[in-house]
Amino acid sequence: METDCKSISNQKNESTPSYNWKDVTPEFFDSIKELELGELLHGYFFGLFEAMSAIEIMDPKMDAGMMCNRESKAIKLEDLKLSGLSVSEQISIIDVTLACLVSWLEGHSLAQTVFTNLYFQKPYEIEDVPLKAFCICIYKIIEEIRDFANRAQVFEEEDFQPALYSYHYFNEISVTRVIGMMREVDESINHKLKSNANSDENESYVALNTRIKFVRLFFQILLSFNRRENHSSSMGETQRLLTTCGLLIPSLINTVDKGVPKVGNWCYDLGFDPLINQKLLPPTFPRYTKIKPAGEAYVYFDSLLTRLKQICKLTNCTTFISALECFIELGHNSHLCIVSRSIMQTLYFPQPGQVFGTQDLEDCLREWAKSFIAPPSLIPRLNILSNSQAKDCIHNFFDHCTRPFAGLIQICGHNKARQRDKLAHLMEDFSALQDESQRVDAFLHSFSSKLDPPREHLASFSTWIIYHTIRIMIMYLLSGFELELYSPHEYQYIYWYLYQFLYGWLVSTLNRADNVLLGSDSLVDSQKNRTKRNKPKKKKPHPYSQEIVMCHAMQSLTGAYFKTLVGFQLEGKIRTPKHAKFDNEKVRYEHRFAAFSAVAVPPPFSYNEFQMTRCQIRDSASGDSGMLYLNSCELFHQARCLLDTIAQPHSQQVLDLIKVCKTNFVTMKLLASGYMRGPDVSLDFDFTTNSYFPILKLS
pLDDT of residue 71: 45
**Higher-confidence residue: 610 or 582?**
610
**Higher-confidence residue: 148 or 334?**
148
pLDDT single digits (tens) 445-471: 887 777 666 677 778 899 999 999 999
> Would the pLDDT of 200 be above 80?
no
pLDDT single digits (tens) 314-345: 988 889 999 999 999 888 776 788 999 999 99
8 A C-beta contact, residue 596 and residue 604: yes
pLDDT single digits (tens) 179-188: 999 999 999 9
> Would the pLDDT of 264 be above 80?
no
pLDDT of residue 532: 53
Burial 273-307 (b: 16+ CB within 10 A, else e): bebbbbeeebeeeebebebbebeebbbbbbebbeb
Cβ neighbour number for residue 465 with a 10 Å cutoff? 26
For residue 407, give every residue at least 6 positions away whose Cβ sits within 8 Å of its Cβ, in sequence order, or none. Answer: 422, 426, 429
Give the single-character DSSP code of 593: T
Rounded mean pLDDT, 373-392:
84
Give, in order, the Cα–Cα distances in Å from 285 to each of 103, 129, 274, 431, 520.
16, 39, 19, 35, 58
> Would the pLDDT of 218 be above 80?
yes
Rounded mean pLDDT, 286-296:
83
SS3 category, 686 = strand
8 A C-beta contact, residue 344 and residue 155: no
pLDDT single digits (tens) 526-535: 555 555 555 5
> Would the pLDDT of 357 be above 80?
yes
For residue 69, give every residue at least 6 positions away whose Cβ sits within 8 Å of its Cβ, in sequence order, or none. Answer: 275, 278
- Sign of the CA dihedral 647, 464, 594, 51? positive
pLDDT band at 101 (very low <50, low <70, confident <90, very high): very high
Measure the CA–CA gap between 323 and 113, rounded to whole angstroms: 35
Write the DSSP assignment of 323-358 as a string of letters: HHHHHHHHHT-TT--HHHHHHHHHHH-SBTTEETTT
Would you list the domain boundaries of the chain? 2-63, 77-302, 358-465, 486-524+542-699
What angle, 0 to 180 degrees and rounded to 10, lies between the N-to-C axes of helices 202-225 and 338-348?
40
pTM over 0.95: no
Task: Report residue 43: phi and psi, to 5°.
Answer: -100, 170
Of 203-217, 279-293, 392-406, the one with minimum mean pLDDT is 279-293
> Would the pLDDT of 664 be above 90?
yes
Give, in order, the Cα–Cα distances in Å from 492 to each of 176, 482, 610.
59, 16, 10
pLDDT of residue 120: 87
Mean pLDDT across the chain? 84
Residue from 354, 346, 261 nearest 311 by CA: 346
**Higher-confidence residue: 615 or 583?**
615
pLDDT of residue 226: 84
pLDDT of residue 9: 47
Measure the CA–CA gap between 561 and 40, rounded to whole angstroms: 31
pLDDT of residue 683: 81
Measure the CA–CA gap between 460 and 398, rounded to whole angstroms: 13
Cβ neighbour number for residue 235 with a 10 Å cutoff? 18
> Would the pLDDT of 91 be above 90?
yes
Cβ neighbour number for residue 205 with a 10 Å cutoff? 19
Residue from 645, 640, 693, 692 nearest 666 by CA: 640
Of 131-145, 264-278, 365-379, 580-594, the one with minimum mean pLDDT is 264-278
Share of the chain above pLDDT 90, in %: 47
Measure the CA–CA gap between 343 and 282, rounded to whole angstroms: 24
Measure the CA–CA gap between 340 and 149, rounded to whole angstroms: 10
**In terms of C-beta density within 10 A (0-12 exposed, 13-18 middle, 19 or more buried), how is residue 533 classed?**
exposed
pLDDT of residue 60: 61
Give, in order, the Cα–Cα distances in Å from 372 to each of 406, 433, 512, 513.
18, 17, 10, 7
Name 697's bridge partners: 684
Name 360's bridge partners: 354
pLDDT band at 396 (very low <50, low <70, confident <90, very high): very high
pLDDT of residue 163: 82
Cβ neighbour number for residue 438 with a 10 Å cutoff? 18
8 A C-beta contact, residue 336 and residue 311: no
**In terms of C-beta density within 10 A (0-12 exposed, 13-18 middle, 19 or more buried), how is residue 420 classed?**
buried
Measure the CA–CA gap between 221 and 239, rounded to whole angstroms: 9
pLDDT band at 520 (very low <50, low <70, confident <90, very high): low
> Would the pLDDT of 582 be above 60?
yes
Rounded mean pLDDT, 298-327:
92
For residue 692, give every residue at least 6 positions away whose Cβ sits within 8 Å of its Cβ, in sequence order, or none. Answer: 478, 481, 482
On the question of a cis peptide bond just before residue 602, with omega within 30 degrees of 0, the verdict is yes
